[in-house]
Amino acid sequence: MKNILNTMQWLIWSGVMALALGLMTRARKKDLLSDNGGKLTAPLFVLVVGLLDFTFFTAIAIISNVFPNGTESGLTTFVFLVFSLLGCYLIYSWIQERHSYDEEKIAYMKFTGERVDLYWRDIHALKYTPSLQWFVFTDVRGKKYYFAAMLKGIRPFAELSLRKLDGENIDSFAVMILRKIADGEVV
């Protein structure tokens, strides 16, 4: 009986995760096809995951101390609160990740809230990091600017990037990914 319950638990967990990932992929495809009018913003599912993460791990931290079961300790509470803070990070990044662009420049918003204007003519290099799904723009001074491939409005941004950037410092893999995004593919 215990094996059946354990199997059912993992089947339900797998089904919920498959559903969540499917919904996220569908949302990314929809976001990819949207034109945000020269703006790049984090997708809504970043906020949803952040809120769920914060709520879930904060509740576990509280419940594990209110209803002790022998596994509670300062360490477990600390670990649950650290995961809860990761949810806060996602919520903050959803609020903060707001960039805009036009034919002349990219208005890049740093994580600290500072706005930096990155002119297309000053972009020295472009690379794509597949493990993080980030485009890394490097200016002539060597400063790096990171743009996630999942941002809403990334398709028109990819099209403009392909028009504005050329040269030997532009990574061919990054160009291939930009072309895929410009063609409406989710990467």
Report the pLDDT value the prediction gives residue 12, as an integer from 0 to 100.
Answer: 84
Report the pLDDT value the prediction gives residue 120, as an integer from 0 to 100.
Answer: 94
Residue 17 burial (CB count, 10 A): 10
Overall pTM > 0.75: yes
Domain locations in the chain?
Answer: 43-96, 98-182
Average pLDDT for consecutive 10-residue bins of the chain (187 residues)?
79 82 70 76 89 94 85 87 95 92 93 91 93 93 92 90 84 92 83
Report the pLDDT value the prediction gives residue 23, as an integer from 0 to 100.
Answer: 74
Q: How far is CA 54 from CA 17, 46, 59, 85, in A?
A: 18, 12, 8, 7
- Fold classification of 98-182 is PH-domain like (2.30.29)
Q: Letter for the amino acid at 116?
A: V
Please say whether the beta carbons of 178 and 161 come within 8 A. Answer: yes
Q: Letter for the amino acid at 72?
A: E
Report the pLDDT value the prediction gives residue 68, as an integer from 0 to 100.
Answer: 78
